[in-house]
Structure 1
Amino acid sequence: MKKIMADEKLAEMALADPKRVKRVLANRQSAARSKERKMRYIVELEQKVQILQTEATTLAAQINLLQLTDGSNSMAQRDSSAVATQNNELRFRLQAMEQQAQLRDALNEALTGEVQRLKIAALELGIGDSCSSNGMAQQHSLMFQHHQQQQQEATPIPFYQLQHQQQQQQQQQNGTANKHESRE
């Protein structure tokens, strides 16, 4: 009733049609409730927007972190594959060095055997002959030089090539010795 008395238009209407005034008042109350619901809904939506924005920010940060982690994982995988490749290369080099060492050892044994054979042959022939002992000493010296060269070089000379070289050098020395004898 207070609302009716406050509004002059409603007061006039109440005298003419009281039911209509009730409807108008009910509509006004309904509109006020609707407006209130609308305001609460807007406030709830604003709160949801804020919550979703913070979640979006959090998720964006997590995505960036995951991307960085994936990037570091891919870098780690690249580093790992590079290390694995380098490891394989080093294994192959080690195998090659082991084979070279075996070849050097075999050459050393062959040269040692040849030296022993030549020593025995020299003893059988007699060391008294200065020309042959000089040739033997030169041959031993050449074999020793070749042996040292072999250990310094990466690829060893096969034994048959070493023998061939020794024979050629011995022939050259015999040729120079014969020239010296013919001059005297």
Structure 2
Amino acid sequence: MKKYFILYKPFLLFLGTFFLTYIVLTFLYQRYLNSFEENEMDSITRIVSDNTEQVMRLFNNQSYIKKSEIHPYMKLFFNDKYVARIVEGCNAVSVIILFISFVVAFSGKLKITLLFIFGGSLLIYVLNVLRIAALSALIFYFPKQEPFLHGVLFPLYIYGVVFMLWLIWVRNFSRYASKDTK
């Protein structure tokens, strides 16, 4: 049994570090969410909503957000028509936690790891805001395609970006990156 632990030590270290980081960050995020009242919107989702509105207003003056009177979400209007709602799950924090957990599990030098986490998280955040804005416009023009757009295309887009960032990290910056110079 000991020889298997030695043989698979890098894999087991990766798994342990990944899950430990994921659990700790998820726990902290859940505590943050629990600090809000039941029907109160968290501030990260509010900021994402505000940023989405700013992006949409660049292209369409009849786009805006409005807080729901009853529920903890923002109503998103495109061409003065209610097309979507922005809920806590739209803020990409869970995607960023997944991204960070992987990078930490394959960490490299501390400074580069922290810079990559910051830069990658910022990129995911910005692309998520653009995703919400584009999704809202597409739902306005193609309402029957909403299940495909929201359930397939846009998750593929955001997770595809995360996967590409992971590949860049592992191939270029992690401790397992190739050290070959040509």
- TM-score bracket for this pair, using the shorter chain length: 0.3 to 0.5
More strand by share: 2
Instruction: Return the TM-score normalized by structure 1.
Output: 0.33
Larger RCO (CA under 8 A, 6+ residues apart): 2
Q: When the two structures are superposed, what TM-score results if normalisation uses the length of structure 2?
A: 0.33
Q: Who wins on radius of gyration, i.e. which is larger?
A: 1
